[in-house]
Every structure is written in C-alpha cells, then in structure tokens.
Amino acid sequence: MRARKGLTACVRGFAVSWLALVSITLSVLTIVSISLIPLGIGVFSTPPLIRAVRAHANRRRLLAAAWSDVRIQLPYRPLPADRRSGITGQVELCTLLLKDPATWRDLLWLQVDMTAGYTIALLAFALMPYGLEGFVLAAGVWRPIVDASGTYWYAFLPIDSLTTALLAVPVGVGFIALGSVLSPVLLRGHFLLARSFLDPTPHMALEQRVRQLTETRHDAVDTSAAELRRIERDLHDGAQARLVAMGMSLGTVEALIEKDPAKARELLAAARTNSAEALTELRDLVRGIHPPVLAERGLGDAVRALALRMAVPVEVDVDLTGRPDEPVESAAYFAVSEVLTNAAKHAGASRMWLDVHHQDGMLRITVTDDGRGGAEITPEGGLSGVERRLGTFDGVLAVSSPAGGPTMVTMEIPCGLSAPNAAR
C-alpha cells in the first residue's frame, strides 16, 4: 500500500514538475506585457494573460485538493458584469485586474513555482527512479560506464568493479524505500508551498467575507421583498377577489330574499362556493409561506410529502438525528422544492433521487435525476435563486450535469441539529 502510494506520488511529482515550464512562460509574458502598458500594447495583452495565470493557478488548486487533500481558496475579486466595451472598457478591465492583490500574489507564486516548487516536485519524482538505477548498474551497465570514464559514483558508493556494482542493489532498494515514504510528503510540501502564496491572506479573506455578507444581505432583502409582493398579489388576485364577490352576492341576496327566493338561494350557493374556494386559496398561500408539515414534523417528513406530490417518482433517503434551526429548515425545504420542480419540468427525467443527511456540522442535500442533463446556474434561472437563498446561511450549491445526464445538484448548509423531540 505504501509502495503504491509512493509510486503514485512519484508519477504526480513528475507531472507537476513539467508545469514549471508553464509558470516560466506565463511569468515572462505577463511581466513583459505589464511593462508595455505605458505604450498602450499592454492594455490589450495583459488581461488575457492574467486570466491565463489564474487558470494555471486554479489548475494547481484542483491538483492540490485531488492529489494531496490541500485546500486552496480562491482570493480573486469579482469583476463587474456590466463592463463597457471598446478601449475604455479594456482600460477599466486592465485596471481592475492590476488593482486586485491576488494578481500580484499569483505573479509572485509563478517565481516560486518555477524555482523552489519545481525542485520539490522533481525530488518527489526522482527518488524512486534513482533507486532503480542501482539495479540497472548491477545488471552490467556499470562496465561500459567505468571503462569510458573511470569510477562512477552512485550516491555515496564508488562503483569500479562487479562487487561494488552488486552493492548498488541494496543502495537502490534504500532509495526506493525512501521514495515510497518521502515522495507523498514532498508532493504535499509542494502544494503547501503553493498554498502559502495562492491562498487568501487574512486581510483578503476578511474582505471576501464582508463582500459575501453584503451580497447575501442584499439577496435576503430582495427575496423578502419579492415574497411580500407575491403574497400581496396572490391575496389580491385570489382570496380577496373571491371575498369581495361573496360580499356583493350577499348584498344582492338581501335585496332578492323576499322578491325572488329562488334566485337568492342560487346566489347563496354561489357565495358558499366562493367562500370554500377562498379558504382553499388561503390555505395554499399559508402552505407556500411555511408548510404546516414542516413546522409540525420537520424537514424529513416535509420533503417526503413534497416528493409524493411530484409528477416524477422520487426516491427519498433522509438521515437526520434532529432538526436544524427554523430559518435553515425553511430555506432547505424551499430549495429542495425548487430543484425538484425544475427537474420535473425541464429535465425530461423518469426518476429522481433525494438524499438528505447531516454530517460534520453540515446539512447535505443531493437531488439526482436521470434526465437529459445540461443544467447550469444562470442569472435568470431557478438554480440562481436557490444559490442566493442558501448563500444567506453561508450555504453552497454545486451542479454536475453533463450532456445526456445524469444531473446531480448538491446543496450544503452549515448548521447544527437540535434534539429530535425539541419543541418549536
């Protein structure tokens, strides 16, 4: 097991060491481009090069997480969506990118990556192949080498005869054993070195947090305002209109009760129907604000009831040992409702799966369907609204939806759980 892990780290170290060539190229091109900004040329060449540097750094972030479980956060400031076109817009874009501290940290990382980073990655690769050299020398390769240039030093061992060549085997075994232990450590060290430059500084992390809180506060205010407008619209167009019609019908009944009792009874029946429909609409409206089953029985039973109302069969798996706070529970319920509804309407799915569980202080919800795929988060789409809803609670939304399916939507909300029978 350790040997396989070491061999894997060796191969990965070799792959990462070649990325130093990309770092050298991007570093030279970007520095030259920035120096040409006063001449006007750099204004047009710098933004795409900085984007290339960020893509290169993001690739290293992915490798760090996948190969050594080293998490490196994104520190970049978001760019405004409504940038102007033409020369003015290009100057503005170049200025915004150069004002971002993360841009300069990326450039500094390129210098480290093509020197110290390259050396560490190369060491992670070299130990085990160097150990194999001992076997190659003992197999007879030592003789032409010694005949051509005299004594050959293999590490600390001088090789000048068959006896010393055979001694290269245990030395090689030692290097292979050392590589199986040190290669994973060196590879992780390479990524930890990258993290020291690519990760946000405390100041940048605080700035990101403030920006995120500002955005989620605005989203929460906008969502609340939109919800109030929906409630007002539903009341005005639904229950209120029926109650007004019922009042007018009762006024007409008062005028007709003696002159035309048959007509009065007909109007009373219509008023009774209107009152029942108004009551149904009010119940639906209340259920849309906060479903009774959610308040009474919790998230697990609420999503099960929601799944039963879907046109597409939904297989539900819930594993919750308690209940989240009420705002989190409500946000999770409506997020699930939106995702299931979107999948049923647009995915062309024949079956869906819903998994809800809590682990390591995180409420994790996964919705999977066997539809056509191709789902993505767009500013106008329903998933964008779900992302904003979860963002209010520091939650995240991830979508995996290759063309042809299947689609997997994963939601995570940091929260604790109360006791199962805790009163609300």
List the single range of 247-256, 278-287, 361-370, 406-415 with lowest mean pLDDT: 278-287
> Residue 193 carries which DSSP code?
H
Q: What is the pLDDT of residue 50?
A: 93
**Is 34 in contact with 209 (CB distance < 8 Å)?**
no
Q: Categorize the per-residue pLDDT at 136 as very low, low, confident or very high, splitting at 50, 70 and 90.
A: confident
CA distance 53 to 69: 22
Tokens 């007709």 map to which residue? 256
Q: What is the pLDDT of residue 84?
A: 53
Q: What is the pLDDT of residue 53?
A: 93
Residue of higher predicted confidence among 185 and 155: 185
Cα of 351 vs its chain's centroid, Å: 25
Q: What is the pLDDT of residue 423?
A: 45
Asked if residue 49 has pLDDT above 60, the reply is yes
pLDDT, tens digit, for every residue of 387-420? Answer: 777 777 778 888 887 877 788 888 888 888 776 5
Q: Which stretches of 72-144 are assigned E, i.e. beta strand?
A: none
**Is 325 in contact with 415 (CB distance < 8 Å)?**
yes
24-28, 248-252, 282-286, 302-306 — which one is most confidently predicted on average?
24-28
Residue of higher predicted confidence among 109 and 342: 109
Exposure of 304 in the CB half-sphere (CA atoms within 13 A): 10
pLDDT, tens digit, for every residue of 359-379? Answer: 888 888 888 888 888 777 766
CA distance 367 to 390: 15
Asked if residue 119 has pLDDT above 50, the reply is yes
Task: Give the predicted TM-score (pTM) of the model.
Answer: 0.57
Q: What is the pLDDT of residue 222?
A: 58
Query: CATH 1.10.10.10: does it fit domain 297-414?
Result: no
Q: How far is CA 384 from CA 292, 378, 379, in A?
A: 26, 6, 6
- Summarize the confidence of residues 120-148 as an average pLDDT: 84
121-130, 239-248, 380-389 — which one is most confidently predicted on average?
121-130
Q: What is the pLDDT of residue 108?
A: 94
351 contact partners, CB below 8 Å, separation of at least 6: 312, 313, 314, 315, 369, 370
**Is 45 in contact with 33 (CB distance < 8 Å)?**
yes
Q: Categorize the per-residue pLDDT at 109 as very low, low, confident or very high, splitting at 50, 70 and 90.
A: very high
Q: Categorize the per-residue pLDDT at 23 as very low, low, confident or very high, splitting at 50, 70 and 90.
A: very high
Exposure of 210 in the CB half-sphere (CA atoms within 13 A): 7
Mapping DSSP to helix (H, G, I), strand (E, B) and coil, where does residue 153 land?
strand
Asked if residue 235 has pLDDT above 90, the reply is no
326 phi and psi, to 5 degrees?
-55, -45
Cα of 330 vs its chain's centroid, Å: 22
Q: Which of 7, 12, 195, 49 is nearest to 113 (CA)?
A: 195
